[in-house]
Amino acid sequence: MQSSTLDPVKLGLFVSRLESVCEEMGAVLQRAAFSPNIKDRLDFSCAIFDARGDLCAQAAHIPVHLGSMAYAMADIVSACEWRAGDMVVVNDPFLGGTHLPDVTVIAPYFDRRGTLLAFVVNRAHHADIGGSTPGSMPLSKTLAEEGVVIPPTVLVRGGNLDKGLLDAWFGDGQHGDFIAQISANRSGLHRLAEVLEALPVPFSAAVTQLQDYAESIARRRLAELPKGSYQFTDYMDDDGFGNSELPIAVSIELGDDNVAVDFDGSALQVAGNINCPLSVAAAAVYYVFRCLMPSEVPVCAGLFRPISITAPKGCLLNAERPAAVAAGNVETSMRITDAVLGALAQAAPELIPAASQGSMNNVAMGGRGAGAHWDYYETIAGGMGAHSAGRGLSGVQSHMTNTLNTPVESLEMHYPLRVRRYALRTHSGGEGQFVGGEGVIREFEFLSPTQFTLLTERRSLSPWGLAGGGNAQLGRNLFNGQTLAGKISMSAAAGDVLTIETPGGGGWGK
C-alpha cells in the first residue's frame, strides 16, 4: 500500500523544489521586465500557495511583499471564481495588496483532472501606476491620489491577455512589465506541473505534512523563549501633514509555544500616507519571528500558525478605506519591525540587534515636459544595527526590503539624471562595544525639469542603540545644500542637486 506521507529526505526535496520554482519565476520576471525598478532593483517577489490560499513556498525576495501575501491570500482566493488559463491582477491595499505600485498577478494551477491544487503568484513594483505625481509615491491624503486601484480582476482569460484593460488603466505602451509578470507565472505553472507530477503522494497530503512540520518547528522555538509579557513603543517621525511623533505601541505575550502580538495603543490613522492595512503589519511581525527560527525551516503558512496579531480598526496599522497608504508599506512597516524587535529585546537581548536605519528612504521622481514622460523610483540603503556578535553592516537594505540600489550606469542610461556622489556616510552608525552600520550618501543632479517626492523616516527620531549602545545619526535630505523635510514634494530645474544621507544603525553594548 502506498504511503500518504513523505519520508524526511523526500519532504526536504519537496520543499527545495517548490522554492526553486519560485526562484525560477523571479529569474524570468527579472529578465523579461523593462523597468530598472524590476530588472535592476529586483523590487518583486514570487510564491506558491495551495488551493485554500495558504503559503507553501517562497523565494528569498521581499519580506513586506511575501508576508502580506501570506496574510491576505486566502481572502483573495475566496473572492474569485478560478478557471484554468486565467490570471487575476490586484493591487487594492484593502483587498490583499500593500500599496498601489505593488501589483500582484495570480495564476491557478489545475491538475489533469481539472482539480484546483495551487496558485503561483508574483508581486512587482510599478513606478508609474497613475499616481498624482511622477513615480506614483505622492505626498497623498487619499488612496485615489496614489493611482489606479485594481480590485481582484481577471487580466488573462483562457490564456489570452485582456489588453483593453491595461489600455484603460495605463494607456497604450505601458504593458511591458505586466507581460513579464504573466510570463513569470506561466513559467511557474510549467515547473510546478513537473514537480507535482513526480510527487509520490497527493499534493494535498504533502502540503499538510509540510505545514505541520513547519508549525512543529515554530512551536519548539517559541517554547525556548522566556515566557511573559513585553511592551515597547517606537514612533514615526511624522505623516507629512503636521502630525508628528506618532506612536507604534506593541505588546507581545510569549506563551508556552505561541505568541500574541497586540498593537493596541498605537496612533489612529492619519491624514498622510503612512497608514497601512493590517496585512502589512502582519508581514513585519512574521518577518521578525522568521528571523528567530532555524535557518532550515520551510517558510510556509504552518510557520505562522502559532502567531496571532491584533490591531484596533482605524489605527495606523489597521487603517480603513480611503486612507492613503503609499508610505505605510515602505516606512511604517520598518517601524513596526523596530517596535517588535524592541519588545523582544527585553525577553532575549542576546538575540536581538539594535535598530537598523528604520527607513527605505523613498525617492520618486519624473518629468512631464514636452516629448518627455518618465517615472523613476528607488529606495536607498543605510546602516544595520549592531548585535551581540558584532558590528552592523553598512550600506545595505534591511528588514522589510530586500531590493538593490539602482546601478548608477542603469539610472543614467534611462533617465535625465546624473549621480554625482554615491558613498558610505562615515561615522553615522551608533557607538558602542559593537558599532552600528553606516548609512549612504546618494546625490542626484537633475538634467531636465523634474518633480520629485521624498517619503523618508528617521529624520527627527534616531535609530536606537541596545544594551548601552549609542543611537545612530539621523538621516538628512538636502536640496542645493538646504535641508528638506522628511516628506516633501517639489519641483527641480536642470542643474539642481538632491542629496540623500541615510541613517546608520544603532550601536550595541557599552
Mean pLDDT of 109-138: 93
Give the chain's end-to-end CA distance (angstroms, integer): 63
Mean pLDDT of 363-376: 86
Q: 312, 265 in Cβ contact below 8 A?
A: no
Cα angle 7, 8, 13 (rounded to 5 degrees) comes to: 100
pLDDT at 404 (0 to 100): 84
pLDDT at 405 (0 to 100): 87
pLDDT at 295 (0 to 100): 86
pLDDT at 2 (0 to 100): 55
Q: How far apart are CA 72 and CA 77, in angstroms?
A: 9
pLDDT at residue 61 is higher than 80: no
Q: 284, 336 in Cβ contact below 8 A?
A: yes
Q: 453, 327 in Cβ contact below 8 A?
A: no
Is pLDDT larger for residue 59 or for residue 206?
206
| E strand or H helix that includes residue 499 | strand 497-501
pLDDT at 371 (0 to 100): 62
Q: How far apart are CA 159 and CA 300, in angstroms?
A: 28
Show me where the domains of the chain are located: 8-202, 353-510
Q: How far apart are CA 69 and CA 74, in angstroms?
A: 9
Backbone angles phi, psi at 216, to 5 degrees: -65, -40
Query: Is the Cα dihedral 215, 218, 224, 229 positive or negative?
Result: negative
E strands, 368-447, are 374-378, 417-425, 439-446
pLDDT at 173 (0 to 100): 61
pLDDT-derived band of residue 379, with 50, 70 and 90 as boundaries? very high
pLDDT at residue 168 is higher than 90: no
Interior/surface letters 486-503, b for 16+ CB within 10 angstroms, e for the rest: bbebbebeeebbbbbbbb
Cell of 283: 508581514
Q: How far apart are CA 436 and CA 393, in angstroms?
A: 7
pLDDT in tens, 447-497: 999 999 999 999 999 999 999 999 999 999 999 999 999 999 999 999 999
Backbone angles phi, psi at 459, to 5 degrees: -100, -15
User: Which residues on adjacent β-strands are paired with residue 442?
Assistant: 422, 500
Give the residue from 461, 419, 464, 460 showing the smallest Cα distance to 442.
419
pLDDT at residue 260 is higher than 80: yes
Q: 320, 355 in Cβ contact below 8 A?
A: no
What average pLDDT does the structure give for the chain? 93
Give the residue from 362, 378, 370 showing the smallest Cα distance to 458.
362
Cell of 435: 558599532
pLDDT-derived band of residue 383, with 50, 70 and 90 as boundaries? very high
Weakest mean pLDDT among 2-6, 216-220, 373-377, 500-504: 2-6
pLDDT-derived band of residue 370, with 50, 70 and 90 as boundaries? low
Give, in order, the Cα–Cα distances in Å from 178 to each of 30, 33, 103, 104, 361.
12, 8, 9, 10, 26
pLDDT at 4 (0 to 100): 79
pLDDT at 60 (0 to 100): 75
pLDDT in tens, 394-432: 999 999 888 888 999 999 999 999 999 999 999 999 999
pLDDT-derived band of residue 100, with 50, 70 and 90 as boundaries? very high
pLDDT at 3 (0 to 100): 66
pLDDT at residue 94 is higher than 80: yes
Please tell me whether residue 277 adopts helix, strand or coil conformation. Answer: coil
Mean pLDDT of 293-321: 94
Q: How far apart are CA 72 and CA 95, in angstroms?
A: 8
User: How many beta carbons lie within 10 A of that of residue 379, not counting itself?
Assistant: 23
Mean pLDDT of 150-171: 90
Contacts 24+ apart (CB under 8 A), 204-209: 204/50, 204/51, 204/117, 205/4, 205/5, 206/6, 206/11, 206/14, 207/50, 207/54, 207/56, 209/5, 209/6, 209/11
Q: What percent of the chain has pLDDT over 70?
A: 98
Q: How far apart are CA 245 and CA 301, in angstroms?
A: 34
Angle between helices 63-79 and 278-291 (to 10 degrees): 130
Helices within 43-119 (DSSP H only): 63-79
CA dihedral of 261, 403, 98, 131, whole degrees rounded to 10:
150
pLDDT at 369 (0 to 100): 73
pLDDT at 72 (0 to 100): 78
Report which residue type is found at 72. Answer: A
Cα of 509 vs its chain's centroid, Å = 30
Weakest mean pLDDT among 68-77, 206-215, 237-246, 254-263: 68-77
Going by CATH, does the domain composed of 8-202 fall within 3.30.450? yes
pLDDT at residue 1 is higher than 50: no
pLDDT at residue 14 is higher than 70: yes
pLDDT at residue 69 is higher than 90: no
Give the residue from 253, 261, 263, 264 showing the smallest Cα distance to 225.
253
- Helices then strands, each counted (H, E), the chain: 10, 20
User: Which residues on adjacent β-strands are paired with residue 374?
Assistant: 367
